[in-house]
Structure 1
Amino acid sequence: MIEQEFNLQDDLIHLNHAAVGPWPKRTLQAVEAFAHDNHQLGSLHYPHWVAVETRLRERGARLINTRAEDIALVKNTSEALSMVAWGLDWQPGDTVVISDEEFPSNRIVWESLEARGVQVRQVNLHGQQSPEQALIEAIDAQTRLLAISSVQYASGLRVDLEQLGEQCRQHNVLFCVDAIQSLGALQFDVQACGADFVMADGHKWMLGPEGLALFYSRPTAREQLRLFEYGWHMVEQMGEFDNPNWQPAHSARRFECGSPNMLCAHALDASLSLIEEIGIATIEQQVLQNSQRMFDTIDQLPNLELITDKQAGRYAGIVVFRHKQIPVEQLYTWLMEQHVLCAQRGGGIRFSPHFHTPWAKIEQGLQMANAGPQ
């Protein structure tokens, strides 16, 4: 089944799911079918489109172990983070704890609150303490929220979300998780980790398109967010267009102000159907095995040096390394010219294959990186 779903051209080595991943065949077919339906029949089948959107919420909910009503479909991770950052009633002196290696989406949004008197504490995750302990020790009486990526985009470092969630509950601190580098690659249990907010775009490990993200909010935390987008779709009485006594939806739909992105909903629904069929536990096992094999191979190649922490529990699908002689910029440019899709991150080259990536392709990419331009 996997071979039938992914049909990349032969000269391409795609090791870049941490950026933008290729679609499965079923996702291509879903988009083609939706476009064909719209082209020939207009909105005749709109009730079916809504059913697909509903099914997508249910798939997203199952992926993180929650209810569909706790899932909003928003444009991207940055939008969801902004809804949290600018939805809370901040007081001067409040602090937000983050790491010092977050992707800009999970840093700039908190720094933007400076005008409201909110301070951002950036924590070094690579000191003498564990990453979790360093974050926990940065929490004090003024801390309102801890925001962290489940897996760091530039280093591949994975944190213990359950430990952080437990400490946030003990300190009465909101817990916000940018899960874009783990959803679709690793098992994620929002009940176990106790996150109040979780967000992730669909275009990386979830195998979907850009332009649609899952945004989870715990009901009690959801009620704390002031809304700043309004429209026909976010009201409890959706469809009662002449009702003057509207109220925001009790569900996470309150964060969806207007008409849904039906094209992307059809695409992401198809992509998540593949993840469900394979099973996220099986996918996680293969993703971690790929990383383990890359660690072993890098250790054996004379010119490569591993950057990502290979300690069990500290990595996911991202592996970053450097060449001992060739500058990172030069090696990255050459690899991309050879159609080895990767990224320049964290002081090295970032490889991020998914469960479906053939090991032969991964190994070929590593061998090419080791040899470098001749």
Structure 2
Amino acid sequence: MFLIIGIMVVLIGFLNLIIYCLNWFYPIILVSRQSYQILFIRLYFFFLVSISSRLKEVSFLFEGQTELIAREFPQLQEMIWLNSSGTVPLPKSSLEATIKILRWHSDWKGDFQQRTQEGEKIKESAKNEAAKMLACSPDNLAYIANTSHGLNFPLHGIDWERGDNIVTSALEFPANYLPWKYRAKKSGVDLRVAPINSRGQITEEEIIALIDNDTKLVALSLVQFSNGQRVDAPTIAKVAHEHDALLCLDAIQACGGVEVYPEEMAVDFLTAGGPKFLMSPLGIGLCYISSRALAQIEPPLQGWINYDYSDGNYMNKNPAYRKGAGRFEHGSVSLYLIAGMNSSLQLINSVGIKTVAAHNQGLARMMIELFEDQGYTVITPLPPNKRGASINVRVGEAMDLAKIVEILDTQHNIKISARFGGLRLSTHLYNTEVEIQKAYEIIHSLVQA
């Protein structure tokens, strides 16, 4: 691509020189020469823009990436991990941070009060790091054990009445469908499901058409697990709020891998477990709860942590709720896991979520183009604002997807998944263009064999 552009730029310059020389000997074509120069200027501008655009598309490496991979992911030196939508290898610093707190709990050496205070600082730090990544207030964040934990806040916290409805889609992962099915059966609520179209996607138009004045909740995945499609959350939130409904997003396929700004999107609940793009230990996650939702919903899961005992008076039987989303934390959370997540969030923020997102979406675009150029069907949308950090490619109905995944794993040490009738490949900050090219070539050879 660069060679072609370079040759054409040189040719344009050469032609411009010829016209200039002709004008020197034949001034009569002055007007024509001026017209040509205008044309050449336009062509130069076009090709310079093309080069700039192409550079932006292929410059997926970020400063310090090679050193980061070597330092934090030594296990990936002989492995290509394209399964971040499933789980990720834990960064070395996160593992060490987790083990450090486990050792605290084992030996209890040193000042007990000091250890307790340091533990509280770690909890505070993790929320601050998450707030930085999400561009929100830490007061709107609650610790959760997993994505489903956060989904249960609106599931049990909303005051449901017969005749209410919940809007979701047929493309959802079971964790973001079965709870709403349960609520529909339990409370006489209507479950409205936006269909999957012929391209294997859902549309905002279909979702919005289901929202009315009886809608209490719109529950969707920000990025779909099956094909990497990203929904237009701000548009859906606007319509939902016009009908006094809340918007709840399962964001485990998005947070940490692409830009996610819940306040800007006007989301009410945004929940994400740690072991995917947040690169955190299994068993810890975060739930963003908007001020709007905090004012409407009482914490449905009750324990002593919901309440403000900062004065140390544990004999108080009438305490006030803690401020912000912390009131939704009903019991003790694992400091071990929070320490690991804190380290992972610091790692993401050290690179910058905008850089991470551009890197991931650039690699995703590279994968889409590689497969589509060979005639494969990719059911992931191409525009960056319509997808996350994963793609789904259909390699043929006759192909044994499970077998391809197994061969890639056992013979080539390449980790991917089979989902929704295709191969799902997902990237993160530890992946490179070389890995993408290699994985594509091996997959293509397996399909053609």
**Range into which the TM-score falls when normalised by the shorter chain:** over 0.9
Residues 117-142 of structure 1: CA deviation (Å, up to 9, x unaligned): 11211102536997111111111222
8 Å Cα contact 1:125/1:134 also seen in 2: no
* CA distance in 2: counterparts of 1:271 and 1:106, whole angstroms: 25
Given the alignment of the two structures, is residue 229 of structure 1 paired with residue 298 of structure 2, yes or no?
Answer: no
* CA distance in 2: counterparts of 1:261 and 1:250, whole angstroms: 21
* CA distance in 1: counterparts of 2:152 and 2:202, whole angstroms: 29
Partner of 1:316: 388
Alignment equivalent of 2:165, drawn from 90, 95, 99: 95
User: Cα gap change, 1:130/1:100 in structure 2, threshold over 3 Å: closer, same or farther?
Assistant: closer
* CA distance in 1: counterparts of 2:247 and 2:446, whole angstroms: 43
Given the alignment of the two structures, is residue 334 of structure 1 paired with residue 407 of structure 2, yes or no?
Answer: yes
Moved more, 316-325 or 290-299: 316-325
Secondary structure at the residue paired with 2:418? strand
8 Å Cα contact 2:166/2:216 also seen in 1: yes
Unaligned runs of 5+ in 2: 1-66
* CA distance in 1: counterparts of 2:331 and 2:383, whole angstroms: 45
Given the alignment of the two structures, is residue 183 of structure 1 paired with residue 183 of structure 2, yes or no?
Answer: no
8 Å Cα contact 2:405/2:415 also seen in 1: no
Alignment equivalent of 1:7, drawn from 74, 78, 81: 74
8 Å Cα contact 2:194/2:202 also seen in 1: no
Given the alignment of the two structures, is residue 69 of structure 1 paired with residue 139 of structure 2, yes or no?
Answer: yes
TM-score, normalising length: structure 2: 0.79
Secondary structure at the residue paired with 2:296? coil
* CA distance in 1: counterparts of 2:130 and 2:92, whole angstroms: 20
Partner of 2:331: 258
Partner of 1:19: 86
Given the alignment of the two structures, is residue 34 of structure 1 paired with residue 101 of structure 2, yes or no?
Answer: yes
Alignment equivalent of 2:180, drawn from 110, 135, 140: 110
What letter is aligned with 1:79? Answer: H
Alignment equivalent of 2:225, drawn from 137, 142, 153: 153
Partner of 1:120: 191
Alignment equivalent of 2:364, drawn from 291, 295, 298: 291
Partner of 2:344: 271
1:82 deviates by 1.1
Unaligned runs of 5+ in 1: none
* CA distance in 2: counterparts of 1:164 and 1:149, whole angstroms: 12
Q: Tell me which stretches of 4 or more aligned residues in structure 1 moved more than 4 Å.
A: 127-130
Partner of 1:219: 291
Percent of aligned positions that are identical: 26
**How many aligned positions are there?**
373
Higher helix share: 2
Q: How does 1:298-309 map to 2 (within 5 A)?
A: 298-301=371-374, 304-309=376-381
Partner of 1:200: 272
* CA distance in 2: counterparts of 1:130 and 1:124, whole angstroms: 6
Partner of 1:356: 430
8 Å Cα contact 1:317/1:354 also seen in 2: yes
User: Cα gap change, 1:148/1:7 in structure 2, threshold over 3 Å: closer, same or farther?
Assistant: same
* CA distance in 2: counterparts of 1:277 and 1:171, whole angstroms: 40
Moved more, 87-96 or 334-343: 334-343
8 Å Cα contact 1:123/1:135 also seen in 2: yes
* CA distance in 2: counterparts of 1:313 and 1:243, whole angstroms: 50
1:61 deviates by 1.8
Partner of 2:59: none
* CA distance in 2: counterparts of 1:275 and 1:363, whole angstroms: 25
What letter is aligned with 2:159? Answer: D
8 Å Cα contact 1:322/1:328 also seen in 2: no
8 Å Cα contact 1:232/1:241 also seen in 2: no
Partner of 2:439: 365
Secondary structure at the residue paired with 2:75? coil
* CA distance in 1: counterparts of 2:210 and 2:387, whole angstroms: 23
Moved more, 160-169 or 175-184: 160-169
* CA distance in 2: counterparts of 1:171 and 1:18, whole angstroms: 33
* CA distance in 1: counterparts of 2:163 and 2:320, whole angstroms: 32
Residues 5-56 of structure 1: CA deviation (Å, up to 9, x unaligned): 2212444221111111112221122123223333332582121011000111
* CA distance in 2: counterparts of 1:193 and 1:73, whole angstroms: 21
Moved more, 155-164 or 34-43: 34-43
1:263 deviates by 0.4
Residues 69-89 of structure 1: CA deviation (Å, up to 9, x unaligned): 111101111011012111111
1:367 deviates by 1.6
Larger CA Rg, structure 1 vs 2? 2
* CA distance in 1: counterparts of 2:119 and 2:383, whole angstroms: 45
TM-score, normalising length: structure 1: 0.94
* CA distance in 2: counterparts of 1:220 and 1:312, whole angstroms: 29
* CA distance in 2: counterparts of 1:172 and 1:371, whole angstroms: 53
Kindly report the root-mean-square deviation, in angstroms, between the aligned alpha carbons of the 2 structures.
2.0
* CA distance in 2: counterparts of 1:127 and 1:170, whole angstroms: 30
